[in-house]
Amino acid sequence: MEKKKILYIGNKLAQKGSNATAIDLLGPRLQNEGFSVVAVSDKKNKIMRFIHMMAAVITHASASKIVLIDTYSTLNFQYAVYAALICRMKKVPYIPILHGGNLPNRLQQNKAQCKRLFGNAKVNVAPSHYLMEAFSAEGYTNLVHIPNTLEISQYPFLLRKEIKPRLLWVRSFAEIYNPTLAISVVKILRDQGVDASLTMVGPTNDATFETCKQIAAKYDISVEFTGKLPKDEWIRHSEVHDIFINTTNFDNTPVSVIEAMALGLPVVSTNVGGLPYLIESGKTGVLVPPNDAKAFADAITDLCKQEEKARSIAKNARQKVEQFDWQQVKQQWISLLSQ
């Protein structure tokens, strides 16, 4: 039986020093389920990536059953806009996969453009109920919820015997993820006499990396900057840390947070975007206001003082994210793409 061909448009940059995105993860899984997947683009330069994506749509769309388009809320939003435009011109069905935590603002600010992109899609896949609700509120009905997924067997659950302020941060160094806040949290803890440590894992996207180094040096805070690590290496790093912090200003359902929950790390995160749909504060993690280093420090101190609470959060979080295992989610994708 001939494999169903799928063209997948997204930022396929895991082999170029960036963190893996949906296209790096979902594409191979669909391939393993019997689909023929052409995934584009792996060009680091944004202009060259845009050209490569559009050329792929022009070349491959007509021969594809469907075009999947990873859709973000910042500059990369335009990749989706023009890829979808070409699909409509070629009368090829397409499915935006909604990733951008700031997409609700796009819906407000670019109504006509969004209506063309999302309104003409075969369906829009929302990994979070946060985006499902935001799109529904704007009148979109062509929506389906399929969560971000992971292979749960790759994430060994470790229940910490003790909870110390050994903090782990995993994300790209980009302004939208507010990495400098992590340094500020450690400074407050140190000023309170708490012997806190911080490891920051992730590639450099903008000047925030240098800013983090400068702030750490200014306040004589020792931070381990590992750069981007392969998945297995940062999982090994997680074993010597006790709390995961997510400092972002905008977000959907970040895979790094889901992974931390799977590994048994209690998560303290900003209460933004899709995070309150993923984390029930006090049960599966702790949510604090954005840009509030003091709230982060207080939450971390509380977890260290109430270790049984921290362990309960870790167990509940693991149970929560087991529903995101590919073995449970894959049938939703197979059913959608087989229609």
Does residue 141 sit within a domain? Answer: yes
Question: Rounded to whole angstroms, how far apart are CA atoms 336 and 339?
Answer: 6
- Same domain, yes or no, for 140 and 156? no
Model-level pTM?
0.90
Specify whether the CB–CB gap between 278 and 166 falls below 8 A: no
pLDDT of 15:
80
Instruction: Verify that 107 and 157 share a domain, yes or no.
Output: no
159, part of any domain: yes
What are the tens digits of pLDDT across the range 200-254?
Answer: 999 998 999 999 999 999 999 989 999 999 888 999 999 999 999 999 998 888 8
Q: Are residues 190 and 287 in the same domain?
A: yes
Whether 142 and 157 map to the same domain: the answer is: no
CA-closest candidate to residue 274, choices 184, 145, 117, 84: 145
Helix 180-191 and helix 208-218, axial crossing angle in degrees, nearest 10: 10
Average pLDDT rounded to a whole number, residues 182-200: 97
Does pLDDT of 299 surpass 50? yes
- Establish if 337 belongs to a structural domain: no
Three-class DSSP category at 112: helix
Structural domain boundaries, residue 164: 152-323
Reported as a single tens digit per residue, the pLDDT across 161-188 is 999 999 999 999 999 999 999 999 999 9
Both tokens of 236, joined, read 């090994």
Rounded CA gap, 292 and 229, in Å? Answer: 28
In this structure, the answer to whether residues 80 and 183 fall within a common structural domain is no
Structural domains counted in the chain: 2
Determine contact, residues 262/155, Cβ cutoff 8 Å.
yes
Residue 332 φ/ψ, nearest 5 degrees: -65, -40
pLDDT per position as a tens digit, 77-98? 999 999 999 999 999 999 999 9
Nearest to 145 by CA among 40, 271, 252: 252
User: Residue 1: pLDDT above 60?
Assistant: no
160 and 131 housed in the same domain: no
Looking at 146, 178, 202, which one is the last position of a domain? Answer: 146
Q: Are residues 97 and 221 in the same domain?
A: no
Average pLDDT, the chain: 94
CA atoms within 13 A on the CB side of 122: 16
Check residue 2 and give its pLDDT: 56
Tokens of 137: 């509120």
CA dihedral 281, 282, 288, 294 (to 10 degrees): 180
Is 80 exceeded by the pLDDT of residue 277?
yes
Tell me, what's the pLDDT at 3?
67
Strand 94-98: give its sheet, edge to edge: 36-40, 5-9, 66-71, 94-98, 124-126, 143-145
Q: What is the pLDDT of residue 21?
A: 85
217 and 77, same structural domain?
Answer: no
20 located within any domain: yes
Q: What kind and span of H or E run contains 38?
A: strand 36-40
Mean pLDDT of 29-45: 95
| Helical residues (DSSP H) of the chain, grouped into ranges | 22-32, 46-60, 77-90, 103-109, 111-119, 129-137, 180-191, 208-218, 231-238, 255-263, 275-278, 293-305, 307-321, 326-337
Q: How far apart are CA 136 and CA 128, in angstroms?
A: 12
Check whether residue 297 and residue 167 sit in a common domain. yes
CATH number at residue 195: 3.40.50.2000
Strand partners, 95: 68
